[in-house]
């Protein structure tokens, strides 16, 4: 019985390790644009890929132009000033 429990635990750890890699995959350009569109209404006029993320320029409804940075690893959005 103990051997069976140890095998199940090892299998569980293996599966968690395998699937956690898929969850932590980098986001792509389409996902970055979608995240920014949901958080900042306006018209996206430029998307530029950098080594570690994306710079996305938006014209907001009030006419202001803002540039945002989306991190490829985390998906975090920051105003690029």
- What CATH number did the domain enclosing 60 receive? 3.10.450.40
At 1, is the pLDDT very low, low, confident or very high (cuts 50, 70, 90)?
Answer: low
Q: How many structural domains are present in the chain? A: 1
Residue 73: predicted pLDDT: 94
At 16, is the pLDDT very low, low, confident or very high (cuts 50, 70, 90)?
Answer: low
In tens, the pLDDT along 55-75 reads 999 999 999 999 999 999 999
Selected residue with higher pLDDT from 21 and 50: 50
DSSP state of 67: E
- What does the CA dihedral 36, 24, 28, 38 come to, rounded to 10 degrees? -20
17: domain range? 2-79
Q: What is the pTM of this model?
A: 0.68
């Amino acid at each position: 019985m103990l051997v069976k429990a140890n095998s199940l635990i090892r299998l569980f750890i293996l599966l968690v390790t395998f699937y956690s890699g898929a969850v932590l995959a980098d986001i792509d350009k389409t996902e970055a644009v979608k995240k920014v569109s949901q958080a900042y209404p306006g018209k996206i006029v430029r998307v530029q890929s950098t080594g570690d993320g994306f710079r996305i320029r938006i014209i907001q409804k009030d006419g202001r132009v803002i540039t945002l940075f989306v991190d490829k690893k985390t998906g975090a959005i920051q105003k690029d000033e």
